[in-house]
Amino acid sequence: MLAPIARKPVWLRVLVLVTCLSSFFFGICWAACADQAIQVVDNTYQVQFAQGITFRLQVQALAGIKEVTLYYRLVGEGVTVKIPITVAPGENEFSYTWELEPGDIPLGAQLEYYWRIVDGAGNEVKTSPLSFRYEDPRFAWKTLEGDKIVLYWYGSDEAQARRLLGYAAKSLARLQDEMGVSLDRPVSIYVYQSKADMSLALPRKSEVYDERIVTLGVVVDEGTLLLLGSHPDVEQTIAHELAHVVVGLVTDNPYAEVPRWLDEGLAMYAEGELPAANRRALEDAIRRDALISVRSLSGYTSDPSQVDLFYGEVYSLVEYLLRSYGKEKMGELLAAIRQGLYQEEALQRVYGFGLDELDAQWRKSLGLSPRTTPVAASSPTPQPAQRLPLPCPGAGVIMVMAATLIISRRRHAGAPRG
């Protein structure tokens, strides 16, 4: 027989209930008192494009202000910046300017900030987070929308803007139909009409570089592309840079970077026909049996004389994989990289062979024998993938002055992914 459960006296249960309710209402009253003790009068921000963002706060506090801290971040980034503000006795207006250089913040990026305020009596208030987009206010931007594309443009030539949107839609269709790569979220394309207009939105490199190089297109964020819409090569530029955007989005992970031969090869293939300079370099290397190995194509060549060959080879290599194994396998390869696999592991999982066997098969398709001396395998230290907002030397830059600096119009070496 079970023993009866002992029940607490009624007065004890009432006491517990009263205590809980008192604690609850005390917490509410304390928060309300803190809000009353510290009143936020003004909380604003001002953006000076490519120069800085100024955050301003005005408060009233019966006990005076003891501490003020600003917190801000780029939405989607894992880092929040903490800025303690110096507080003078009796001060109730505060400001902080985040000084910027051109290109420090990607155009269209979402920012968020809030303040933490503590008064002399120990009351603390955190303002509700405010968010805003980092835009270029120099121009009256208009928008055109297509399937997973938002095109921002200014000026009076709407026909040109619609042509550019059409080029972008065509490029995305080619990526999906022929390469098995598709978007799962929209891409933003900002179209500038001149080099001067776009200069403040681009990261600075050097005075010589910025004077001599015209950037045709650049990926500044994982889903944002800047474009020089007035250039005659704009259609190829859109195709090339959109490929980078799409490949970046479908392989995004904190562990493994997309190998350069795959990233640039897909971008080159997206343009359509291989440009003449790259084809000549490729054919000459095949004739002399002087191809760069697939393993070496995993990073950009450091030899300026091999730039045209590098881009010719990565095009040829991606074309071989698509022609021989199909777009479904290519999609599986990108998915494997997204899971964090490095290229050797990803190739083995999807195709059943690694870099050296890929090199041998590709050479055979070009009429060449396998290498007699295998390329030494490298064992790089695994590092988190970083997609830097620098222009792709491919569809990204052209030379406008040639003195001692010689760079091919859409092919370059030694630069991070653009």
CA-based nearest residue to 409, from 400, 393, 398: 398
Phi-psi region of 5 (alpha: psi -120 to 50; beta: other; left: phi over 0): beta
The answer to whether position 125 is within a domain reads yes
User: 210 and 330 share a domain?
Assistant: yes
pLDDT tens sequence across 398-416: 333 332 222 233 333 233 3
418 within a domain of the structure (yes/no): no
Higher pLDDT residue, 342 or 4?
342
Higher pLDDT, 378 or 303: 303
Residue-level pLDDT at 253: 87
Nearest to 101 by CA among 54, 52, 46: 52
Same domain? 119 vs 171: no
Q: Is residue 103 part of a domain?
A: yes
Residue 416 inside a domain? The answer is no
Q: Considering the domain boundaries, does residue 16 fall inside one?
A: no
Average pLDDT over residues 280-292: 96
Mean pLDDT of 130-139: 96
Would you say residue 13 has pLDDT above 80?
no
Higher pLDDT, 203 or 377: 203
Q: What burial letters (b/e) apply to 205-223, b meaning 16+ CB within 10 Å?
A: eeeeebebbbbbbbbbbbb
Q: Which residue has the higher pLDDT, 389 or 293?
A: 293
CA neighbours closer than 13 Å in the CB half-sphere of residue 402: 6
Closest by CA position to 250, among listed 273, 266, 226, 269: 266
User: Is residue 29 in a domain?
Assistant: no
Q: Structural domain of residue 75, as residue ranges?
A: 38-133
Residues 94 and 120 in one domain: yes
Q: Which of 66-80, 169-183, 202-216, 372-386 has the lowest mean pLDDT?
A: 372-386
277 token code pair:
């300079």
The domain total for the chain is 2
Same domain? 323 vs 281: yes
> Do 326 and 395 lie in a common domain?
yes
Q: What backbone phi and psi angles, to 5 degrees, belong to 389?
A: -80, 60
pLDDT at 399: 36
Contacts of 340 (CB under 8 A, 6+ apart): 253, 254, 255, 256
Please tell me the predicted confidence (pLDDT) of residue 205.
64
Q: Which residues contact 2 (CB under 8 A, 6 or more apart)?
A: none
Of the candidates 108, 133, 158, which is a domain's last residue? 133
The confidence score (pLDDT) of residue 331 equals 92
Query: Are 64 and 207 contained in the same domain?
Result: no
pLDDT at 304: 80
Mean pLDDT, the chain, rounded, equals 82
Do 122 and 177 fall within a single domain?
A: no
**Which of the pair, 215 or 214, is modelled with greater confidence?**
215
| Residues 80, 149 share a domain | no
Is residue 184's pLDDT more than 50?
Answer: yes
pLDDT at residue 99, as a whole number: 97
Helix (H) or strand (E) holding 319: helix 307-338
CATH for 315: 1.10.390
Provide the strand spans (E) within 127-261: 130-133, 142-146, 149-153, 187-192, 213-215, 217-221, 224-228
What's the pLDDT tens digit per position in 67-97?
999 999 999 888 999 999 999 999 999 999 9
